[in-house]
Amino acid sequence: MWTVLDPGAPGPSLSRPTVRGAQRLPTPSTHARWFPKTPAKSVVALKTPIKVDLVAGKTYRWCVCGRSKKQPFCDGSHFFQHTGLSPLKFKAQKTGTVVLCTCKATQRPPYCDGTHRSEQVQKAEVGSPL
Using CB under 6 A, list all residues that contact ligand FES: 49, 101-103, 105-106, 112-116
Closest CA to 51 of 101, 93, 88: 101
SS3 for 81? Answer: coil
Cβ 70 to ligand FES shortest distance, Å? 16
Cβ 13 to ligand FES shortest distance, Å? 53
Q: Which is nearer to ligand FES, 36 or 50 (CB)?
A: 50
CA dist 53 → 83, 91, 99, 108 (Å): 28, 13, 9, 18
Q: Which is nearer to ligand FES, 67 or 116 (CB)?
A: 116
What torsion do the CA atoms of 46, 52, 55, 61 make, to the nearest 10 degrees? -10
Q: Which is nearer to ligand FES, 79 or 111 (CB)?
A: 111
Cβ 113 to ligand FES shortest distance, Å? 5
Spell 77-112 as b/e; 16+ CB within 10 A means b: bbbeeebebebeebebeeeeebbbbbbbbbeebbeb
Q: Which is nearer to ligand FES, 45 or 83 (CB)?
A: 45
Cβ 37 to ligand FES shortest distance, Å? 27
